[in-house]
Amino acid sequence: MRCAHAVDWVRAAEGELMARLPEGTLMQRAAAGLAACCVELLVGGRQGRVRGSRVLVLVGSGDNGGDALYAAARLARRGARVRAALLAPPERTHAGGLAALLAAGGRTTDDPAEAASADLVLDGIVGIGGRGPLREAALPWVDAAQAGEALVVAVDLPSGVDPETGAVPGRAVQADVTVTFGTHKPGLLVDPGASHAGVVRLVDIGLPVAPEAGDHVVEALQHADVAALLPEPEAESDKYRRGVVGIAAGSARYPGAAVLAVGSALRGGCGAVRYVGAAGADVVRAHPEALVGDGGPADAGRVQAWVVGPGLSQDTDAERAVTEALAAEVPVLVDADGLRLLARRGSAPANALLTPHAGEAVALLAGVGVTATREEVEGERLRYARMLARAYGCTVLLKGSTTVVTGPEGPARVNPTGTAQLATAGSGDVLAGLAGALLAAGLAPRDAGSVAAYLHGLAGRISSGGAPTCATAITAALPEAWRSVIAGDTDDGIPPFR
Ligand SMILES: NC(=O)C1=CN([C@@H]2O[C@H](COP(=O)(O)OP(=O)(O)OC[C@H]3O[C@@H](n4cnc5c(N)ncnc54)[C@H](OP(=O)(O)O)[C@@H]3O)[C@@H](O)[C@H]2O)[C@@H](O)CC1
Ligand SMILES: [K+]
């Protein structure tokens, strides 16, 4: 599991550690890890070596600049031609770092053309002390670096990305690689910040960051975590013991949503799928395994979890389906039209899992008296997902370029397997059916939501392979995604947090 900690926690943990170590130890650990990563990139890059390669360091006013300067000094000692652009007044530039660089043969520069011709640019403008967008002084340098061929390496965080939220309020560095220290920062794991970070490398500087300690605020599952959560049939299992999921979805106008949700639920690890709604004939034609009823959830017989909402429309039958599913006293996943109806109530049972996209989140927020735009929700997903979870008193899975799953308390989970190819019609219905099956199989709402998002993302990648995909193909790829997780196939192929 990859974990991210809040900035205050990082500062406190660093403070405690620094009190026990000789002065400057942590910065030297950070700089050594950063330099090692740069060496690897330069050796693997167009120069093929460190000696003679051109390195430009962008240096801000704090310790982030200090890290960058000390790392650059190490590269200069190995023969790199290093130039440093000091963006802060001399009295606010890290004195020790600058002295080390100059002693190692580096020089300062005022010429942004250095950024255009560099092989590697180190962004030491600002780290966890950063607030707001890049400032004026940095822009010509960053513009030149991004237009040139250089690999851009962000120190701790891409400057301009909010460390806590991943918000990008204006201009920010677009990094190829981010080398972060001690622990991930939330802003590296959540879009839009995650999209600016490139590949994230973590350098251990000795902070006590074990997930078991529970000090982190954000976590991202990996294959092994998901494998440990997947339901497995036992020798004594029968279809009822494995769990039955009820699906109340689809309408005369949108029968396809029902077909898709049932299709993914059938591949989601429970024992049986019951369908109720107006699309029974379509469902049974596509999936003869489904148990189809023509009443509402209250008439359906026993299930261990409900999925209500995909393609349901918002008429009186839909309202009845939502009311009955919510009253069933089993975990209930509410999606799509179900969310619009739920917004009118302004609350949900504690064992509910709400799966809005940003637009539906806006409607849910309005239901509890909060005005926000879609862009605001997408700009600060962690904050709004948490706000919804607290207001409705249940678990929320906020879909998007980084899907976030969170309850009212505890760390938020962010999904690392997403791909833009998942933004296709019916994809949300597939996710809902899959998560519902996992709920019925006994996973808690947070686990069901995050495991479903993980498998759904992998299936999207498998079915796409870079080409456009569709909801039916994503469903068909679910078994392969599942197998790759239990086989422990490496997840290195997943660009971190994309
Ligand atoms: N703590 C530790 O033990 C360790 C820390 N380590 C490293 O230190 C980093 C944190 O260092 P830090 O605390 O000095 O803050 P840092 O991010 O360099 O910002 C400095 C100043 O920048 C300014 N500023 C704000 N926003 C801005 C913007 N958008 N654009 C431009 N400038 C902006 C603002 O000052 P202002 O100008 O607003 O007065 C702010 O005070 C951390 O990320 C890691 O790299 C590692 O070495 C391991 C040990
Ligand atoms: K930085």
Residues 212 and 352 in one domain: no
pLDDT at 237: 78
Classify residue 199: in a domain, yes or no. Answer: yes
Spell out the residues 6+ positions from residue 474 whose beta carbon is closer than 8 angstroms to its own: 264, 422, 424, 427, 430, 456, 459, 460, 463
Q: Tokens 């997403």 appear where?
A: 418
DSSP 55-115: EEEEE-SSHHHHHHHHHHHHHHHTT-EEEEEE-S-GGGS-HHHHHHHHHTT-EE---THHH
pLDDT at 430: 98
User: Of 405, 251, 380, 398, nearest to 317 (Cα)?
Assistant: 251
CB 312 within 8 A of CB 318: yes
pLDDT at 489: 76
Helix axes 95-103, 63-77, angle to 10 degrees: 10
Alpha carbon of 128 to ligand 1 centroid (Å): 5
Looking at the whole model, is its pTM more than 0.90?
Answer: yes
Annotated binding site for AMP: 399-403, 428
Q: Tokens 């064992």 appear where?
A: 351
Cα(98)–Cα(447) distance, rounded to whole angstroms?
Answer: 48
Residues 199 and 287 in one domain: no
Annotated binding site for K(+): 64, 123, 159
Q: What are phi and psi of 252, to 5 degrees?
A: -55, -35
Classify residue 291: in a domain, yes or no. Answer: yes
Query: What residue numbers bound the domain in which 207 lies?
Result: 2-219
Residues 20 and 114 in one domain: yes
Q: Give the ipTM of the model, two decimals please.
A: 0.98
Atom of ligand 1 nearest to the CA of 27: 47
Among 8, 21, 29, 63, name the best residue to mutate to test ligand 1's pocket (greatest count of ligand atoms within 8 A of Cβ). Answer: 63
Classify residue 496: in a domain, yes or no. Answer: no
Q: CATH number, domain at 169?
A: 3.40.50.10260
End residue of a domain, out of 186, 219, 252:
219
Residues 203 and 234 in one domain: no
Atom of ligand 1 nearest to the CA of 67: 47
CB 194 within 8 A of CB 407: no
Spell out the residues 6+ positions from residue 27 whose beta carbon is closer than 8 angstroms to its own: 63, 66, 67, 70
Q: Could you say which residues of the chain have pLDDT below 50?
A: 493, 496-498
Atom of ligand 1 nearest to the CA of 65: 18
Classify residue 491: in a domain, yes or no. Answer: no
End residue of a domain, out of 185, 200, 219:
219
Name the helix (H) or strand (E) containing 171: none
Cα(173)–Cα(214) distance, rounded to whole angstroms?
Answer: 31
Alpha carbon of 106 to ligand 2 centroid (Å): 20
Annotated binding site for (6S)-NADPHX: 63-67, 127-133, 156, 257, 311, 357, 429
pLDDT at 496: 44
Spell out the residues 6+ positions from residue 52 whose beta carbon is closer than 8 angstroms to its own: 79, 80, 81
Tokens of 363: 């409607």
Domain count along the chain: 2
Alpha carbon of 173 to ligand 2 centroid (Å): 8
User: Of 27, 18, 239, 192, nearest to 124 (Cα)?
Assistant: 27
Classify residue 157: in a domain, yes or no. Answer: yes
Ligand 1: which residues within 6 Å by Cβ? Answer: 11, 14, 18, 26-27, 30, 60-64, 67, 125-132, 134-135, 155-156, 181, 205
Residues 232 and 186 in one domain: no
- Cβ atoms within 10 Å, residue 437: 34
Residues 214 and 283 in one domain: no
The residue whose CA is least distant from atom 36 of ligand 1 is 61
Q: CATH number, domain at 314?
A: 3.40.1190.20
Residues 215 and 275 in one domain: no
Residues 157 and 247 in one domain: no
Residues 205 and 234 in one domain: no
CA atoms in the 13 A half-sphere facing the CB of 156: 31
pLDDT at 492: 56
Residues 168 and 282 in one domain: no
